[in-house]
Amino acid sequence: MRLDQVADVQRRRLGDRDRYPLAGAQPQPHRARRPRGSGVSAPLAGDRVVEQPGPPGRVDLAVASVAGISRAHAQRLVGDGRVLVEGRRVRSSDRLRGGELIRVELSAPPDPTLQPESIPLRLAYEDEAMLILDKPAGLVVHPSAGHSSGTLVNALLGRARQSGERLGSIAGVERAGIVHRLDRDTSGLMVVAKTDAAQASLMRQFALRTVEKEYLALVRGAAPATQGRIEAPVGRDPRDRQRMAVVAGGREAVTEYDVLDAGNGHSLLALHPLTGRTHQIRAHLTYLGLPIVGDSRYGGGIGPGGLTRQFLHAARLRLARPVDGSPLEAWSALPADLAGSLAAVGLGSERLPQGVGARAGESG
């Protein structure tokens, strides 16, 4: 099958409808693209360990069913040895007859190698079950080779120690309540769970694609339409293993976009990823011939005003609060470096959020 058959950009004009109002202070509710099922509740209800007879079929699907988690999450637990079937470790691909006792350990044991650190964090929202933080560019999310300290995980552990609160651990202590991630040089909103029940709820919402996300990007070039939808599979770039690209056989990836302003060889875009592939927005925009300014890895070069990091900012989130299922919207204004780059090219929009904050609605 040719790539142009599996990677299609669908363009459409949708009139003057805005997804969000002018500033961040009082955003209007945005209709969620909800698939079947709820993104709020899960059978585990905060239990540390789930033990139930499993249905017939693959182990990973059975674990997802009894624990109320996504298949990908179930596969991680199986790989970590936190799933036992009739007292024995199993593989995700093993098959069950049905009725076997499945034991799922949802909370991970402490990891003494992860050290709490006092790193200031700016919050957009916080309640007893979760928080939404405004991540600065340059902050690595998870410890890794070359980044054993100074990460967001270290900062969250330090904050939890100081406040006496815990963090969700069902995805592993090294994730410290984190349910999604941003690249090191992407700024903006991230969700963190304080409890296992909240983490399960939030992970389920992300898995069901009911969390609405809006990113802002400044790109080189003109978009093919004022609004559009990019449907193109994303996988590892065969020419550069450090990059992702649109490739035949890649994973399904869908991104919608709106042009907020354009001129002087640049376009300011609002992007709404409907899937969560690694580097999805960067790969999709490169595929369209619209590299993000400042993104040297994907051909964006130095941006206006001398910007040397990618102009990509997670500006808005809408999800259901785990505590009561009510809608929650959060927003984050462009940081100073991105605002300066935008001003240098002479673009702007009344739809850009102002300040950092959130608003919770009433449960329906």
75-99 residue pLDDT tens: 888 988 889 999 999 999 999 999 9
Contact present, 143 and 154 (Cβ < 8 Å): yes
- State yes or no: is 240 an active-site residue: no
Q: Which of 353, 356, 316, 310 is nearest to 184 (CA)?
A: 310
Q: What is the pLDDT along the chain (364 residues), one digit of tens a residue?
A: 334 433 344 443 333 334 333 333 333 333 333 333 333 334 433 446 889 999 999 999 999 888 877 788 888 889 888 899 999 999 999 999 999 999 998 766 566 677 889 899 999 999 999 999 999 999 998 777 677 788 998 999 888 888 887 787 655 555 678 888 899 999 999 999 998 888 888 988 998 899 999 999 999 999 999 999 999 999 999 999 889 999 999 999 999 999 999 999 999 999 999 999 999 999 999 999 999 999 999 999 999 999 999 999 999 999 999 999 999 999 999 999 999 999 999 999 999 999 999 999 865 4
| CATH code at 209-357 | 3.30.2350.10
Q: Give me the amino acid identity at 45.
A: A
For residue 206, give the 3-state DSSP assignment: helix
In the chain, domain spans: 49-105, 108-208, 209-357
Give pTM, 2 decimals.
Answer: 0.75
Query: Exactly one of 60, 134, 183, 337 is catalytic; which is it?
Result: 183
* Matching fold, domains 49-105 and 108-208: no
At residue 12, the pLDDT reads 39
User: Tokens 């017939």 map to which residue?
Assistant: 56
At residue 295, the pLDDT reads 97
CA angle, residues 256, 188, 258, in degrees to nearest 5? 20
Rg of the chain over CA atoms, in angstroms? 21
Give the whole-angstrom CA distance, residue 314 versus residue 182. Answer: 8
Mutual angle of helices 59-67 and 71-79, in 10-degree steps:
110
Topology of the domain comprising 108-208:
Pseudouridine synthase (3.30.2350)
Considering the domain 49-105, what is its CATH architecture?
Roll (3.10)
